[in-house]
């Protein structure tokens, strides 16, 4: 029986990668449910928008009645919940949106899913899954240790963003324990790759370098992150919905711990090779590196132990940091139209396909 997968936040960076993967590599019917905030870009789905298996609902996950309508019309067998406010800096400047979307929105979605699930036939109800996609930032900081985050690491979020995601994780697990809703939870490390919104470190660095603008790095750039290529993450998520055990958590990491300064320096080296014609006045891209005041509550190190998903589901990343970063730089060099429309805001005026 063909799965019917409802992806919330399917126009976002990771969500669009999941939708593309599902349409291009499975026979599933896929519904993209997205509010289309500033981070939602339907142009990221241009390659699949004409598929008869792709459906779109412009819906805010905080609106229960609209969710009920989407569930009733699409009749999903799987929900993959990726809709979230996700930028730490924005959460520091304006935490209210993070509380509303990540906590209230997840609650509202859980209740809509529970109402829908409870009235399904026994056969379909047994197949139903609610997969909540979260972040390693809920675990807090690994400063001055060599430890890795495991699925049993205690939560210790540092920012309004990570605190809101931690809250949503707890809600999902509570709906499993209290109501029996069949849930799965995954916590991933930093994603990167094509179609990444330019406010994040890697695309921001690439586009600033191409424009000859400063490459800002918080503090001394010693913060360590584990980098995961977004298409590897999409594959992992699909393994989890296909074979993951109900009620379980799976950490997903790229096995690529890098200091932020290393990431930026590597990008500069790649651009020297791949984009040697620099902006006027720029001798070397690395000369644009600028150290700025660190942000409040900045965690020093995140690192994922992805052993469980390897042992139980056989997933390992295909991309190394070097191969993935090269692919990413090449994509941005070859897709100037996409990111120029993001920078100008024109992308928000473009609507591909019509709502189902």
Model pLDDT, residue 300: 82
- Of all residues in the chain, the percent with pLDDT exceeding 90 is 85
Q: Please state the rounded mean pLDDT for residues 34-54.
A: 96
Among 29, 43, 137, 232, which one carries the catalytic annotation? 137
Give the mean pLDDT of 60-78: 98
Give the integer Cα–Cα distance in Å for 295 and 227. 20
Q: Does residue 164 contact residue 91 with C-beta atoms inside 8 Å?
A: yes
**Residue whose tokens read 């429309």:** 341
- Over residues 40-63, mean pLDDT: 97
For 245-276, write each residue's pLDDT tens digit: 999 999 999 988 999 999 999 999 999 999 99
3-state helix, strand, coil split of the chain in percent (to 5) is: 45, 15, 35
What is the percent of the chain where pLDDT is above 70? 97
Tens of pLDDT, residue by residue over 81-112, are: 999 998 788 889 999 999 999 999 999 999 99
Average pLDDT, the chain: 94
pTM score of the predicted model: 0.94
Catalytic pick among 34, 43, 136, 232? 136
For residues 198-207, give the mean pLDDT.
94
pLDDT at 40 over 90: yes
Query: Does the pLDDT value for residue 356 go beyond 60?
Result: no
| Residue 338 to residue 20: CA distance in whole angstroms | 16
Backbone angles phi, psi at 227, to 5 degrees: -100, 130
Res 1 pLDDT > 70:
no
Residues 282 and 212: beta-carbon distance below 8 Å: yes
Which of the following is catalytic: 57, 139, 161, 285? Answer: 161
Residue 198 DSSP symbol: T
Count of CA atoms in the C-beta half-sphere (13 A) of 337: 4
**pLDDT digit string, tens, across residues 293-352:** 877 877 788 889 999 999 999 999 999 999 999 999 999 999 999 999 999 999 887 654
Any catalytic annotation for residue 136? yes
Model pLDDT, residue 86: 83
**pLDDT reported for residue 351:** 54
**Domain 4-192+227-255+301-319 class, CATH top level:** alpha beta
Q: Cα dihedral angle (228, 159, 63, 248), rounded to 10 degrees?
A: 50
Banded pLDDT at 353 (limits 50, 70, 90) = very low
- Across the range 213-221, mean pLDDT stands at 93
Report the chain's C-alpha Rg in angstroms. Answer: 20
Q: Is 137 a catalytic residue?
A: yes
Domains of the chain, by residue range, sit at: 4-192+227-255+301-319
Distance between CA atoms of 160 and 99, rounded to whole angstroms? 8
8 in Cβ contact with 33 (< 8 Å) = yes
Least confident window among 68-72, 221-225, 321-325, 341-345: 221-225
Residue 355 has pLDDT above 50, yes or no: no
């Amino acid at each position: 029986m063909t799965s019917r997968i409802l992806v919330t936040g399917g126009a976002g960076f990771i969500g669009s990668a999941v939708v593309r993967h599902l349409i291009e590599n499975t026979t599933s019917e896929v519904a993209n449910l997205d509010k289309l905030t500033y981070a939602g870009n339907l142009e990221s789905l241009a390659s699949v928008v004409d598929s008869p298996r792709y459906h779109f609902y412009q819906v805010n996950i905080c609106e229960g009645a609209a969710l009920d309508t989407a569930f009733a019309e699409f009749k999903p067998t799987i929900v993959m919940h990726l809709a979230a406010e996700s930028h730490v800096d924005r959460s520091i400047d304006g935490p209210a949106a993070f509380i509303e979307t990540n906590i209230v929105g997840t609650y509202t979605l859980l209740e809509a899913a529970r109402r829908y699930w409870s009235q399904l036939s026994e056969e379909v109800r047994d197949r139903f899954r609610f997969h909540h996609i979260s972040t390693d930032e809920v675990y807090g900081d690994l400063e001055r240790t060599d430890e890795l985050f495991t699925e049993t690491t205690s939560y210790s979020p540092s920012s309004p963003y990570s605190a809101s995601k931690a809250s949503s994780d707890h809600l999902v697990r509570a709906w499993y324990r209290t109501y029996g809703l069949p849930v799965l939870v995954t916590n991933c490390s930093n994603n990167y790759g094509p179609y990444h919104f330019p406010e994040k470190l890697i695309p921001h660095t690439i586009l600033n370098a191409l424009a000859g603008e400063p490459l800002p790095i918080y503090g001394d750039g010693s913060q360590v992150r584990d980098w995961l290529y977004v298409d590897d993450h999409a594959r992992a998520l699909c393994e989890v919905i296909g074979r993951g055990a109900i009620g379980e958590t799976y950490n997903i990491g790229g096995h690529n711990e890098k200091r932020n300064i290393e990431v930026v320096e590597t990008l500069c080296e790649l651009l020297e090779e791949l984009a040697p014609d620099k902006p006027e006045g720029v001798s070397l891209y690395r000369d644009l590196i600028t150290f700025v005041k660190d942000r409040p509550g900045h965690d020093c190190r995140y690192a994922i132990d992805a052993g469980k998903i390897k042992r139980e589901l056989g997933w390992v990343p295909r991309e190394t940091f070097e191969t993935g970063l090269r692919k990413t730089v090449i994509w941005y060099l070859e897709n100037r139209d996409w990111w120029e429309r993001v920078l100008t805001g024109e992308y928000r005026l473009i609507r591909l396909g019509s709502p189902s």
